[in-house]
Amino acid sequence: MSAEASSSRYTAVAIALHWAMAALLLFMIWLGWNMEENEARFQLHKSIGITVLFLALARLAWRFTNPPPPLPEAMPKLEKTASHAVHIAFYALMIGIPLGGWLLVSVSPFQVATVLYGIVSWPHLPFTEGLISEDLYEIVEFFHSKGAWVIIGLLALHVAGAAKHEFGAEDGVLKRMLPGLFGRPNPPTLPARGFMFAFGGSAALFAVIAVASLLSAGPASSGPAPSGTGLVGANWKVDYNASQIRFSGLYEGNGFDGTFGAWVADVAFYPEALETSAVKVVVDAGSASTGKKLYDDSLKGREWFNIAEYPEATVELGGFSEAAGGYSATATLTLKGKPVSVPLNFTLDISGDEARLEGLVKFSRKALDLGQGSDPGGKWISDEVTVTISGRATRTR
């Protein structure tokens, strides 16, 4: 065969992908074994794993348009077959293990969101909503973790094969896969083909999934407020720019807090007729924002606010009475269709027709059925969540 039609080396792209992915895979196995109870490592594992998935697809497509150099003529047929079999198995694992990982997080009863590198919201695998179960998780986990050992076993065969053929009787094969910078007189490679097909195709598939995730993620935190509460007789107009609903708690001993970006409140409050006073607030549950994408995405998920089924939460205040320094009331929060009542204390400064309100209420995550799949005992996230309300309103009549 002429030098134009064939080469005894892999293309520079195949070589770069080979070594980069070999390093990533070994790092991923180490990370998988060393990420327990470490959320940052866990997210990194998912981020690199999804990257490996798309690199593997690109690599496969690259190999399709840039076939590998033929193996040395002198190599026994059985060894050629074994070498091919190991390569096929590697490809199956480079695609199967990360796909399995993706399935794992999709069917996990924990339902933690995946945000790649802290930036790209990554969806669960489609059609897995009805499959969430501990049993399926354990089966998939078995294959995911054992797959790592299969990679290690194959790697031993693969390296032994490369070494045998490098130092054995036939032409060396290692130099086919080594970058040209190792001082060997490397034969030229064929011009590479199919960049757009391999990398464009893989990147486009990635982009389609990421955009679909973005579009189905529900309203953004700055989305429109719910249209109304249905409470009639409101006599105060809330100034939303000067009002806030914040929530705070502890995550691994450190404080976190966030706000609800979109809500609407109707206030019928008569200091002189507390028994006829009533307040109703409708909150867009998907507008919870903590400043960290991973938390925001997780809060929208099934075991937290489950915004797909319950896009809105309501808070109703009633049973007002005067208390030391202000007022007390009963706040009934209806989240995911279930009402929970707790006492609320607030101060109200009224001057003329302007009022300022500061209130605080404490909820138990357990009572509200929040995050009870992944952390029912409050091991990472405190059971107690504090909601503070600060607002300004103008009397209308």
What does the binding site for ligand HEM look like in residue numbers (CB under 6 A)?
A: 14, 18, 22, 25-26, 28-29, 32-33, 45-46, 49-50, 52, 63, 68, 71, 83, 87, 90-91, 97-98, 101-102, 104-105, 114, 141, 144-145, 148, 151, 155, 158-159, 162, 173-174, 176-177
- Least distance from C-beta 173 to ligand HEM, angstroms? 4
Q: Which DSSP category does 66 fall into?
A: S
In one letter, which amino acid is 347? T
Q: Which is nearer to ligand HEM, 36 or 309 (CB)?
A: 36
Q: Exposed/middle/buried for 182, CB within 10 Å: 0-12, 13-18, 19+?
A: exposed
Q: Is 234 left (phi over 0), alpha (psi -120 to 50) or beta?
A: beta
Nearer to ligand HEM, 158 or 280 (CB): 158
Whole-angstrom distance, CA of residue 64 vs CA of residue 305: 45
How far apart are CB 379 and ligand HEM at their closest, in Å? 16
CB of 305 to ligand HEM, least distance (A): 22
72 or 219: whose CB is closer to ligand HEM? 72
Phi, psi of 226 (to 5 degrees): -55, 150
Q: Rounded to the nearest whole angstrom, what is the least distance from the CB of residue 141 to ligand HEM in the complex?
A: 5
CB 219 to ligand HEM: min, Å = 25
- Cα distances (angstroms) measured from residue 222 to each of 32, 195, 218, 295, 298: 36, 40, 11, 16, 17
- Nearer to ligand HEM by Cβ, of 59 and 365: the residue is 59
Q: Is the Cβ of residue 66 or residue 287 nearer to ligand HEM in the bound state?
A: 66
Query: Which of 161/311 has CB closer to ligand HEM?
Result: 161
List % helix, strand, coil for the chain (3-state, nearest 5).
Answer: 40, 25, 35
Nearer to ligand HEM, 132 or 387 (CB): 132
CB closer to ligand HEM out of 165 and 280: 165
Q: Which residue has the tokens 């719910």?
A: 226
Contacts of 357 (CB under 8 A, 6+ apart): 346, 347, 348, 389, 390, 391, 392, 393
Burial readout 365-380 (b: 16 or more C-beta within 10 A, e: otherwise): beebbbbebbbeeeee
Least distance from ligand HEM to the Cβ atom of residue 196, Å? 19
Identify the burial level of 352 via C-beta atoms within 10 angstroms of its C-beta, where 0-12 means exposed, 13-18 middle and 19 or more buried.
exposed
Q: How far is the CB of 132 from ligand HEM (least distance, A)?
A: 13
Rank residues 90 and 263 by Cβ distance to ligand HEM and give the closer one: 90
**Look-up: residue for tokens 């040395």?**
72
Shortest approach of ligand HEM to residue 384 CB, angstroms?
Answer: 28
Write a three-state SS string for 267-301: EECCCCCHHHCEEEEEEEHHHEECCCHHHHHHHHC
**Interaxial angle between packed helices 39-65 and 201-216, expressed in degrees from 0 to 180 and rounded to the nearest 10:** 140
Taking the complex as a whole, how short is the minimal distance between the CB of residue 250 and ligand HEM, in angstroms? 24
Q: At what angle do helices 12-33 and 134-167 cross, to 10 degrees?
A: 130
